[in-house]
Every structure is written in structure tokens, then in C-alpha cells.
């Protein structure tokens, strides 16, 4: 009887919220896990699956096509309408605490008593996990012109039923801001401990299936060993480590290795089961719509029966599978025209288009380069050696030129690496990926089975012109910096003008300075604290969530590449910028100019190793 009562109580959203608060206020990792274990152990099957998703910052499992699509404005307007606060008051709380959850907590604490007539739901209604799950599904299913209004109405009905603390975590879940220390790693550990399973088996099952909810239930029911790849549910991608020289690579492995070109495209996982094909990106989004010609060509791939027979001793293919050809591929989509790769931003144009026309497909043709295989026939092959997986890839009878197998060669020496690297760069690619022929495919893991070798581009010295407040643990600090370089060779801080900064953030223009993007990673907490204090003293105009500042702080920035951009006044953008150093020794007169950016852009596809 007591156990049944505990399960009922645990199914309430308030129990999850109380657990989150306990975890948030605990510094010990082991204690955090124990708190989660105690909570998960009391849940019924349905509540368990919902809870582990919420705790890990998800509403629906990976690969689900459901998406609630509720943005900041919808949440803000909902909070305004259920409280006696105005927009400026609520926004001030958001800036002070740095996250929307705290904003919701404060607003709901001020809410007026609303009637059943107002929202169609009694405010005394006690929220359960199942109720929230059903409402989220209902919101995700809304379509059409009135969907935004209906979403806001449903969200308000839920918020009215929330306590202030419940509102805080509800909004955190909706906005994927669950910063309580119980990210997926802790939840994985808690699942393993709660149901007496090996943590490595739990992690492997999650990486393989992409469904933490199902893994938790399988662990509870003793069926963890049955968890496997699911068609059209993307598994985590294997990741490569980095080495900086050919000597380092050869010395580390001390044996022959596979060498492949490193392509500058979009990492894409292809699922083909029977006559259906779907494409998934690195963040598990379904991007099938963006590349219909790739889908058509994948569905035209046949199976080489002769090569099947040669590899029959491996027992990978099911003999009765004559009419269906199933596989999961790992590879890269690149923009490709006139036998050369196009810049990465050309590929991004395809992804940003809501309607894909024949003209766009003709202007930006693409190619899918296959470099690994995770599932073949009716078997997963991730625990087979790479050299065998490559031999299985050779069984694919590719019909169209926009699908190719990655170029691969066997390397044994530093000279081999150098030669392959130069060939890759001369053909317009980024560098090399070196792979251990005996390595298994490790979903979601970065290790020294795959090694990236890229040419490091020069760094850029840029000046901070705009600073924005951070979120979560960086709340209250200025941690996001908009960077600018000189338009001409000579400039001083006195020649900088703020008078023509316009209202559109990405179009901000200045006199003699050109914006080239934002950077927010690379600095320590101590350095961010220093930057915050210094930037506040340099403020020219306070815009609430951001400050326009005098151009005095110079940062040295690294980046993966430079691409053209019409979003920044400099006409270029740094791709994946990272702050390397605060240059205390440099003034605004010492920052780099647009000419240097142009040179790096022009040379980045043509430079050679060691040049």
C-alpha cells in the first residue's frame, strides 16, 4: 500500500521539481546521483519514461518528429497575461537571473487568481507528468494560422496550475535550459544504479538507440540487452580526436593506417530501410527535405550479390532479404560543382530554404560522401573492425555520381601523411582524417581511433564593440562578445563612432570598424569576471540585455574557417570562433583589418601543409 502511494505521489510534477532543486543545491556528483536514484526508483513505468526525458532536458525522445516550437515571445506574453506584471518588469528579472525559468518563477509568484472560465482549467489542478506529456503532444500537433494563439492558450493553462517553482522548471524544460547538474551523464548513472545495471551498458544502449526513455524502462524490466538500433532514430555519431603533426600521428599508432580526406560539409547519417530513406544531421534533426536528390540516389543503390557471396563467411547479411536492402551510413554532404567543393555557406543556403526549387538544386548541387557503415542487412555492424565495415561498403552498387565512397588510402609514414594532406588541400578539402583499421564504431565517443589533421589558420586580433549578458551559470556576467576589425589599415579608438549603430543586431555598422561575428567560448570564469567589470566601465549605451561599449578590449580569436556573410558589416564571418587570449598588450590601433580577413578567405582552400 505504501509503495503504491509513493508511486502516485512521485507521478506529480512537483516531485520531479523537488528532486531538481535537491540536485541543484548539491555539489557532490555522487549525492546528485543518489537523489536521482531515489526518485527514479519510485516511479511507475509511464512516469519513469517521461521523467528521464524531462531531467535530461528533452520533451520527446531523439528522432521524434514532435516539436512544440514555443519561443521566448510566447512564454513572455503568457507570463504577462497571468500575472500583474508588465513586460519591462518581467524582462528585468530575466536579465538579472539570466534564465527564463527564474523569470517564470517570479511572474507566477505574482499571478492573480484566475477562474476556470478564464482558462478552462482550475488553477488548483495538480500537475502530473502524464498530463504534461499529453499537453506537450497536443501543443506539438497544432498546425495552421491559429496554432500560435492556441499554443499560448494551452501554455497559460499549464502555467496557471503551476506553483512558482513548478513554473520555473516547466519553462526550463520547454526552453531546454535544464541547468541543474542532472544532464544526460548523471541521468544515465542514476538509471544504472537505480536498476542495478552496468553504466557502460546503459550508455551504450542510449547512444545506440537514441531513446533514453526506452532504455530506462528496459533497464527496469531487465531487458536492457534487447535495446538495439531503431530504423529512422539517429544514433550518436562517432567523433574524432585532434593531432597537429604527421610525426605525432605516426609515432602514436606505429602501424599502417587508413587516410581519408576531411570534408567541409554537413555530417549526415543516412537511414534506408526498404524503400524509405531519411537523412539526419549531427544534432539529430531530420533534414531529408533539404536533399531530395540524395534520397533518390540512396534508394537507387543496389547490392552487389557477388561481393555478398565473398563476404558470406562474416554472416552479416540475411539471406532471405531479397526485396529489402537496409543500411545506416555515416558520411558528409558537401556542395560540389565543376569537380570542386563549394564553400560551406553555399550548403547552408540549402538548409535555410523552406521551399527547395529546381533552380536552387541546380545552383548548389550536392554530393554525399560515405565513410562508414553502422547497420547492414538486418545486423548492426558497429562492433566489427573498420576494415571489415569498409569491405561491406564495397557491396554497395552506387548508381549515381552524387553518391561516392570516401577516398581512402593506406599510409605507413610521415611522408605518406604529408603527401595525402597536400592532395586533400589542393583538391579544396580541409585536411585528413586518419583511422585505425581495427577500430570499432563508437557512437557518441571521441577517442584516438579517428584523428583529425587540419591546417591551423592564422588568428585574428579583434576588438569588442558589443557585450551581452550570459545565461545559466553565466547569468549576470557579460560573456558574449561581438567583435570588429578595422576597415582600413590605420584606426584609433577616437575614430570609432556609435552614432550609426542600427537596430538590427546582425547589420550593426560602425565608422571604420567592421563586425565579423560573435565569440563566447574560451575564457575562464575569472577572465569573464574581469571582462564584465571592464566592459561596464566602457559602456556607451545600455540596451538592457547588451551593452554598446568603447572599442578598447582586444581579443585574439581562433576559428575553423572564414565564410562570406551578408549578416555582418564586414562581409565575412568567422566559423566556430574561440577566444584564445585577452590581448592586454594591444590597443584598437593594433587590431587586424579587412584585408587580412580577405587574404585568409582566399587562401584557406589553397594553402599547403607547412606553408
DSSP string, 463-500: EEEEEEE--GGGTTSEEEEEEEEESSS---GGG---TT
| pLDDT tens, residue by residue, 248-288 | 999 999 999 999 999 989 999 999 999 999 999 988 889 99
Neighbours of 266 (CB within 10 A): 23
Question: What is the reported pLDDT for 194?
Answer: 97
Cell of 205: 544502449
- Going by pLDDT thresholds of 50, 70 and 90, the confidence category of residue 353 is confident
Question: What is the reported pLDDT for 160?
Answer: 92
Average pLDDT over residues 181-200: 88
Number of Cα atoms under 13 Å in the Cβ half of residue 230: 19
- Is 341 a residue whose pLDDT tops 50? yes
What's the CA gap between 564 and 31, in Å, rounded?
A: 49
| Residue in 85, 90, 83, 78 with CA at minimum distance from that of residue 157 | 78
What's the CA gap between 542 and 559, in Å, rounded?
A: 29
Domain ranges across the chain = 2-57+181-226, 72-174, 239-454, 460-603
- Is 289 a residue whose pLDDT tops 70? yes
- Is 309 a residue whose pLDDT tops 80? no
- Greatest mean pLDDT among 347-351, 494-498, 549-553, 595-599 lies in 549-553
Question: What is the reported pLDDT for 609?
Answer: 39
- Is 121 a residue whose pLDDT tops 60? no
What's the CA gap between 577 and 260, in Å, rounded?
A: 25
Q: What is the DSSP letter of 415?
A: H
- Is 335 a residue whose pLDDT tops 70? yes
Question: What is the reported pLDDT for 179?
Answer: 62
CA 123 from centre of chain: 37
* 376 φ, ψ (degrees, to nearest 5): -150, 125
Please state at what angle helix 13-24 crosses helix 29-40, rounded to 10 degrees. 170
- Is 389 a residue whose pLDDT tops 50? yes
- Going from the C-alpha of 142 to that of each of 63, 190, 287, the distances in angstroms are 19, 34, 21
> 460-603: which CATH number, 3.60.21.10, 3.90.420.10, 2.40.50.140, 1.10.3720.10?
2.40.50.140
What is the architecture of the domain spanning 239-454?
A: 2-Layer Sandwich (3.30)
Model pTM?
0.74
- Is 610 a residue whose pLDDT tops 60? no
Average pLDDT over residues 472-492: 79
> Taken in order 50, 56, 59, 62, is the CA torsion positive or negative?
negative
| pLDDT tens, residue by residue, 44-102 | 999 999 999 999 888 998 878 889 989 888 999 999 999 878 888 887 887 777 678 88
- Going by pLDDT thresholds of 50, 70 and 90, the confidence category of residue 382 is very high
Question: What is the reported pLDDT for 498?
Answer: 42
- Greatest mean pLDDT among 406-410, 471-475, 597-601, 603-607 lies in 406-410
Domain 72-174: CATH superfamily is DNA ligase, ATP-dependent, N-terminal domain (1.10.3260.10)
Average pLDDT over residues 370-399: 94
Bridge pairing between strands 276-280 and 431-435:
unpaired
3-state secondary structure of 100: helix
- Going from the C-alpha of 511 to that of each of 61, 95, 292, 460, 491, the distances in angstroms are 49, 29, 45, 20, 10
What's the CA gap between 501 and 521, in Å, rounded?
A: 25
Bridge pairing between strands 276-280 and 327-337:
unpaired
Residues of the chain above pLDDT 90, percent: 54
* Length, in residues, of the chain: 611
| pLDDT tens, residue by residue, 506-544 | 334 345 789 998 998 889 888 999 999 999 988 888 887
Question: What is the reported pLDDT for 397?
Answer: 94
- Is 409 a residue whose pLDDT tops 60? yes
Please state at what angle helix 45-55 crosses helix 212-221, rounded to 10 degrees. 140
* 380 φ, ψ (degrees, to nearest 5): -80, 145
Question: What is the reported pLDDT for 604?
Answer: 66
3-state secondary structure of 229: coil
- Is 318 a residue whose pLDDT tops 80? no
Lowest average pLDDT, out of 118-132, 171-185, 503-517, 555-569, goes to 503-517
Question: For 377-471, where are the E strands, in sequence order?
Answer: 379-380, 396-397, 403-405, 408-411, 431-435, 446-454, 460-469
Question: CA torsion, points 133, 138, 141, 146, in degrees to nearest 10?
Answer: -140
Strand partners, 486: 513, 593
Question: What is the reported pLDDT for 494?
Answer: 43
What's the CA gap between 21 and 32, in Å, rounded?
A: 10
63 vs 369: which has the higher pLDDT: 369
Average pLDDT over residues 207-234: 93
Average confidence score pLDDT of the chain: 85
Neighbours of 573 (CB within 10 A): 22
Instruction: Specify the residue for cell string 594553402.
Output: 607
Bridge pairing between strands 446-454 and 460-469:
unpaired
Lowest average pLDDT, out of 35-49, 301-315, 428-442, 585-599, goes to 301-315
What's the CA gap between 215 and 219, in Å, rounded?
A: 6
What's the CA gap between 604 and 602, in Å, rounded?
A: 6
Question: What is the reported pLDDT for 607?
Answer: 46
Q: What is the CA radius of gyration of the chain?
A: 27
Question: What is the reported pLDDT for 113?
Answer: 46
- Is 420 a residue whose pLDDT tops 80? yes
What's the CA gap between 55 and 24, in Å, rounded?
A: 12
- The conformational region for residue 310 under phi > 0 = left, psi -120 to 50 = alpha, else beta, is alpha
What's the CA gap between 127 and 166, in Å, rounded?
A: 9
Question: What is the reported pLDDT for 1?
Answer: 47
Average pLDDT over residues 583-605: 81
Question: What is the reported pLDDT for 553?
Answer: 94
- Going by pLDDT thresholds of 50, 70 and 90, the confidence category of residue 14 is very high
| Residue in 66, 36, 63 with CA at minimum distance from that of residue 202 | 36
Average pLDDT over residues 487-510: 44
- The conformational region for residue 377 under phi > 0 = left, psi -120 to 50 = alpha, else beta, is left
Question: What is the reported pLDDT for 315?
Answer: 42
Strand partners, 47: none
What's the CA gap between 183 and 555, in Å, rounded?
A: 31
Amino acid at each position: 500500500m505504501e509503495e503504491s502511494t509513493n508511486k502516485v505521489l512521485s507521478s506529480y510534477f512537483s516531485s520531479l521539481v523537488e528532486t531538481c532543486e535537491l540536485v541543484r543545491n548539491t555539489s557532490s556528483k555522487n549525492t546528485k546521483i543518489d537523489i536521482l536514484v531515489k526518485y527514479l526508483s519510485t516511479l511507475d513505468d509511464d512516469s519513469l519514461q517521461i521523467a528521464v526525458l524531462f531531467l535530461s532536458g528533452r520533451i520527446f525522445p531523439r528522432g521524434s518528429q514532435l516539436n512544440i516550437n514555443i519561443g521566448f515571445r510566447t512564454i513572455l506574453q503568457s507570463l504577462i497575461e497571468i500575472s500583474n506584471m508588465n513586460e519591462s518588469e518581467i524582462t528585468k528579472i530575466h536579465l538579472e537571473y539570466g534564465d527564463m525559468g527564474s523569470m517564470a518563477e517570479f511572474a507566477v509568484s505574482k499571478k492573480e487568481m484566475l477562474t476556470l472560465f478564464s482558462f478552462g482549467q482550475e488553477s488548483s489542478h495538480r500537475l502530473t507528468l502524464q498530463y504534461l506529456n499529453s499537453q506537450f503532444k497536443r501543443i506539438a500537433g497544432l498546425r495552421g494560422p491559429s496554432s500560435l494563439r492556441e499554443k499560448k492558450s494551452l501554455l497559460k493553462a499549464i502555467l496557471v496550475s503551476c506553483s512558482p517553482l513548478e513554473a520555473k522548471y516547466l519553462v526550463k524544460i520547454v526552453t531546454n535550459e535544464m541547468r541543474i547538474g542532472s544532464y544526460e551523464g548523471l541521468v544515465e548513472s542514476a538509471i544504472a544504479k537505480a536498476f542495478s545495471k552496468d553504466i557502460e551498458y546503459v550508455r551504450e544502449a542510449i547512444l545506440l538507440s537514441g531513446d533514453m526513455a526506452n532504455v530506462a524502462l528496459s533497464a527496469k524490466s531487465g531487458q536492457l540487452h534487447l535495446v538495439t538500433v531503431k530504423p529512422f532514430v539517429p544514433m550518436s555519431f562517432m567523433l574524432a580526436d585532434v593531432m597537429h603533426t604527421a610525426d605525432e600521428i605516426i609515432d602514436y599508432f606505429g602501424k599502417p593506417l587508413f587516410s581519408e580526406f576531411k570534408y567541409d560539409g554537413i555530417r549526415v547519417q543516412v537511414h534506408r530501410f526498404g524503400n524509405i530513406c531519411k537523412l539526419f544531421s549531427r544534432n539529430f534533426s531530420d533534414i531529408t527535405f533539404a536533399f531530395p536528390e540524395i534520397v533518390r540516389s540512396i534508394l537507387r543503390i543496389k547490392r552487389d550479390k557477388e561481393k555478398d557471396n565473398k563476404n558470406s563467411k562474416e554472416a552479416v547479411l540475411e539471406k532471405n532479404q531479397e526485396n529489402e536492402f537496409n543500411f545506416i551510413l555515416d558520411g558528409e554532404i558537401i556542395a560540389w560543382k565543376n569537380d570542386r567543393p563549394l564553400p560551406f555557406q553555399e550548403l547552408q543556403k540549402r538548409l535555410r530554404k523552406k521551399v527547395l526549387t529546381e533552380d536552387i538544386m541546380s545552383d548548389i548541387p550536392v554530393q554525399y560522401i560515405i565513410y562508414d557503415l553502422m547497420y547492414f542487412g538486418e545486423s548492426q555492424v558497429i562492433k566489427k573492425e573498420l576494415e571489415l565495415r569498409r569491405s561491406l561498403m564495397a557491396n554497395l552498387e552506387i548508381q549515381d555520381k552524387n553518391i561516392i565512397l570516401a577516398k581512402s588510402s593506406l599510409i605507413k609514414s610521415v611522408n605518406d601523411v604529408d603527401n595525402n594532406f597536400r592532395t586533400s588541400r589542393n583538391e579544396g578539402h580541409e585536411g585528413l582524417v586518419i583511422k585505425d583499421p581495427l577500430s570499432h564504431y563508437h557512437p557518441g565517443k571521441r577517442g584516438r581511433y579517428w584523428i583529425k589533421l587540419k591546417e591551423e589558420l592564422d588568428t585574428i586580433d579583434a576588438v569588442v564593440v558589443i557585450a551581452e549578458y550570459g545565461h545559466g551559470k553565466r547569468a549576470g556576467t557579460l560573456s558574449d562578445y561581438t567583435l570588429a576589425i578595422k576597415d582600413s589599415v590605420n584606426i584609433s579608438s577616437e575614430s570609432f563612432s556609435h552614432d550609426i549603430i542600427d537596430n538590427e543586431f546582425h547589420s550593426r555598422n560602425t565608422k571604420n570598424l567592421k563586425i565579423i561575428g560573435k565569440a563566447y567560448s574560451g575564457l575562464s570564469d575569472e577572465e569573464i569576471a574581469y571582462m564584465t567589470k571592464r566592459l561596464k566601465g566602457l559602456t556607451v549605451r545600455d540596451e538592457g540585455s547588451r551593452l554598446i561599449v568603447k572599442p578598447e578590449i582586444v581579443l585574439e580569436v581562433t576559428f575553423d574557417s572564414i565564410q562570406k556573410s551578408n549578416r555582418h558589416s564586414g562581409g565575412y564571418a568567422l566559423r566556430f570562433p574561440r577566444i584564445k587570449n585577452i590581448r592586454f598588450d594591444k590597443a584598437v590601433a593594433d587590431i587586424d583589418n579587412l584585408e587580412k580577413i580577405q587574404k585568409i578567405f582566399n587562401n584557406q582552400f589553397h594553402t599547403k601543409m607547412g606553408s
